[in-house]
A = this chain, B = another copy of it.
Amino acid sequence: MSALESLHERVAELADLTALEMLAKWDQLVMMPSEGAPARAFQLGVLARLAHERGTAEEIGGWLAELDDADLGDVDRDIVRLARRDWERARRVPPELAEELSRAQAEGQERWQEARARDDFAGFAPALERNVELARAYGKCVADDGQSTYDALLADYDFGLRTVELRRVFAELARALPPLVDEAVLRSPRRRLAVPVGAQQAAVAGTLRRIGVDEASWRVDVSAHPFTSWMGRRDTRLTTRYLDGDVESLLSSLHEYGHALYERQVDPALERTNLGFGTSMSVHESQSKLWENHVARNRGFAEVLAGELEKAGCAVSAAELHASLVGVERTLIRVSADPLTYPLHIILRFELELAMVEGDLEVGGLPDAWQDGMRRLLALEVPSDAMGCLQDIHWGAGSFGYFPSYALGCLIAAQLWETIEAQLGPRDEDLRRGEVVPIQRWLAEHVHRHGRRLDTVPLVERATGRGLDSEPFLRYVAPLAGR
């Protein structure tokens, strides 16, 4: 086999191992009996160790050296470029640490699930401490010369982004948003709609079906925290949850659909290569936020959602539903937050995880720090840790450096949406009829098909003609405050 063939085979194998890991984690959260957890932690540990061993093998270095001056086509050149980047980065992590991380993450998720159910932060703290320690150890291993630990962690989710840039963008938002929130809670207050769970389920199923979710290549299940998995381009699994007296499920299912569509529309020629995945967490979040903020919260699309609710026996006007979906309210829960306050939730998490990783905040001090931050950014008191620092799975799952991408996703989604409307015309009339095919196609062409071939900023520049820019997002939320 040539060096290129060997490399192709190896990246295919690694893609398959990633799919198996997705399956094992999806199953853990959606299907697995709870007492299966200890065995699952071992199974995930072995997958992680094998992926690490195969992805960091000496022989890959040999193939890469042979391919240094090779005359390659465009795709193969990118396969080799990303293989080199991934290999060099992964080689810095000892196999034992990779396995320990994976095991601690699986156990951390279990502890988090229990602790959240019982509002028991003390029960979660040891697992969180372990995850912070391991994240630090990992960040130190993978850091480039002079790179900070947190910057090194960020690169796993968003290659090329830096803490200093996050501080700048988040400072802009932290300055601009609170005055808008003060006005919006008066002008566009959130009103809850008492939609029964059964009607929500039917409306979610009906809406997803209208935009292409079929049983032949999708699953839609329930989990404590909505998420999306893919085990190949044609096996997409999204989860949602249904809360009585809220319509969050209508938003979160469209949010997850955005993640799912991204992976499904990557160029099929990149499947089972190292390029056949979404390029970064912030671009991924831009896709989910685009469907959540700009489609599900669109005034025209509210007619589709109201129609689906009506079919399920729940009469609500499109205007009333739309007002509920875009209404602003200071809330304790990130995933229930309106689009205007949402980035403030992220800024809090960014500050706290940065402080934990840099050693400025002990894990034991997290509940108090959370309380302080919520007072400062959102003027809210936190009544319990379950409604506070235990609400998200991320830290339990060992993800540090992931949260910022949620806020960047809001910004990029708004940039993409302005470009879509500039190129295709206003979307309201199409969305009133549930017509999303032009949006799907535009995203496939300008965002999805590239897979990992373009990093975040080059991709945004190419798709929108500009770099990262907070103005479109601020224009999107301004009307909520009557501006």
Contact = CB atoms under 8 A, between A and B. Distances in A.
B233 A33 contact: no
Given A23-B23, A36-B217, A50-B50, A16 B31 contact: no
Interface in A413-452: none
B31 A43 contact: no
A107 B233 CA distance: 18
A363 to B, nearest CB: 29
Contacts of A217: 33-36
Given A20-B47, A43-B16, A33 B235 contact: yes
Given A39-B232, A235-B39, A31 B31 contact: yes
A95 to B, nearest CB: 12
A272 B12 CA distance: 28
Interface in A235-263: 235-236
A232 B36 contact: yes
B27 A43 contact: no
* Number of copies of this kind of chain in the complex: 2
A218 interface: yes
Given A16-B43, A16-B46, A232 B38 contact: yes
- Nearest 6 Cβ contacts at the A-B interface: A39-B232, A36-B235, A35-B217, A35-B234, A16-B46, A33-B217
Contacts of A42: 12, 16, 232, 272
A35 B31 CA distance: 20
A1 B32 CA distance: 34
Interface string A52-82: 0000000000000000000000000000000
Nearest to A233: B39
Contact of A219 (B33, B38, B272): B33
A232 B28 CA distance: 13
Nearest to A34: B216
Interface string A12-44: 110011011001100100011111101110110
A360 interface: no
Contacts of A17: 46
Given A16-B46, A20-B24, A36-B231, 9 more contacts: A13-B46, A23-B43, A33-B215, A33-B217, A35-B217, A36-B234, A36-B235, A40-B235, A42-B232
9 contacts: A16-B46, A20-B43, A32-B235, A33-B219, A36-B235, A39-B232, A40-B235, A42-B272, A50-B50
Contact of A23 (B16, B27, B272): B27
Contacts of A47: 20
Contact of A43 (B40, B43, B231, B233): B231
A27 B20 CA distance: 11
Contacts of A45: 16
A445 B38 CA distance: 25
A231 B41 CA distance: 11
Contacts of A40: 231-232, 235
Contacts of A36: 217, 231-232, 234-235
A387 to B, nearest CB: 27
A8 B93 CA distance: 24
Contacts of A43: 16, 19-20, 23, 231-232
A42 B17 CA distance: 10
Contacts of A12: 42
Nearest to A15: B42
B16 A235 contact: no
Contacts of A272: 42
Contacts of A218: 33
A234 B33 contact: yes
Contacts of A16: 42-43, 45-46
Contacts of A35: 216-217, 234-235
A234 B41 CA distance: 13
A272 B38 CA distance: 12
A19 B39 contact: yes
A235 B41 CA distance: 12
A217 B34 CA distance: 6
A46 to B, nearest CB: 4
Interface string A172-191: 00000000000000000000
Contacts of A13: 46
Contacts of A24: 20, 23
Contacts of A234: 33, 35-36, 38-39
Nearest to A46: B16
A31, A38, A217: most-surrounded residue (chain B CB, <10 A): A31
A74 to B, nearest CB: 24
